Amino acid sequence: MPEFSDFAHSLRDAMSIEMVSAIESAPMPSLGEGSIHKPMLPLLSGGVGDHLIGVAPGRQMECLSGLWLVAGDIHRSHSISQDLPSREGSFWHGIMHRREGDFGNSKYWFRKVGQHPVLEQIAHQSDGVYTDPYDFVDRCEDAVSGAGDPAEVKACELGQWIEWQALMMWLCS
């Protein structure tokens, strides 16, 4: 279901055909934990070196953390991102805590990210849905609350998908 956005076509070129196909056949990543997308499991279980084209070896664990998020296994993503000393590791860590509903902890990790270069691109590509990571955490929290409007949930899911693509493009460039 999640199709790569027009701005993210270079990301498709940085992945194997099998990985692109598995991602595009996955459900839209949930604002919560979501469900595991089984076709991605064999592609991720042995690492991602065979499925990332031209990605620096030092960036592969960061990419793997992000790919586990799309696969729906936020806990595997967490086990990787919590050990990554980079801003990108903190970014994935913040997304993971937002998805598990630990919104305060999510903001803590986004503070560790600071002013990342992808934030401007996310704000631009999301048409105002994602103006900054802190407001987006609040927006997602409101969307998943008991009074969550289905249109707002969908807007946040699309904002989250843009966020994922932008960060993965940064890592794969």
76 part of a folded domain: yes
DSSP for 1-62 reads --PPPGGGHHHHHTB-HHHHHHHHTSPPPPSSS----GGGHHHHHT-STTTBSS--GGGHHH
How buried is residue 36: exposed, middle or buried, by Cβ count under 10 Å (0-12/13-18/19+)?
A: middle
135 part of a folded domain: yes
Cα–Cα dist 130/123, whole Å: 5
40 part of a folded domain: yes
User: DSSP secondary-structure letter at 83?
Assistant: T
Can you give the pLDDT at residue 48? 85
The pTM (predicted TM-score) of the whole model is: 0.96
Domain membership of residue 166 as a residue range: 6-172
45 part of a folded domain: yes
Average pLDDT over every residue of 60-69: 96
Q: What total of structural domains would you count in the chain?
A: 1
Checking if the pLDDT of 88 tops 80, the result is: yes
Confidence of residue 2 (pLDDT cuts 50, 70, 90): confident
Can you give the pLDDT at residue 65? 97
Half-sphere exposure of 16 (CA within 13 A, CB side): 12
Checking if the pLDDT of 147 tops 90, the result is: no
User: Picking from 42-56, 83-97, 128-142, which range would have the lowest pLDDT averaged per residue?
Assistant: 42-56
Q: Which residues contact 4 (CB under 8 A, 6 or more apart)?
A: 11, 12, 20, 23, 24, 165
1 part of a folded domain: no
Tokens of 110: 């986004």
166 part of a folded domain: yes
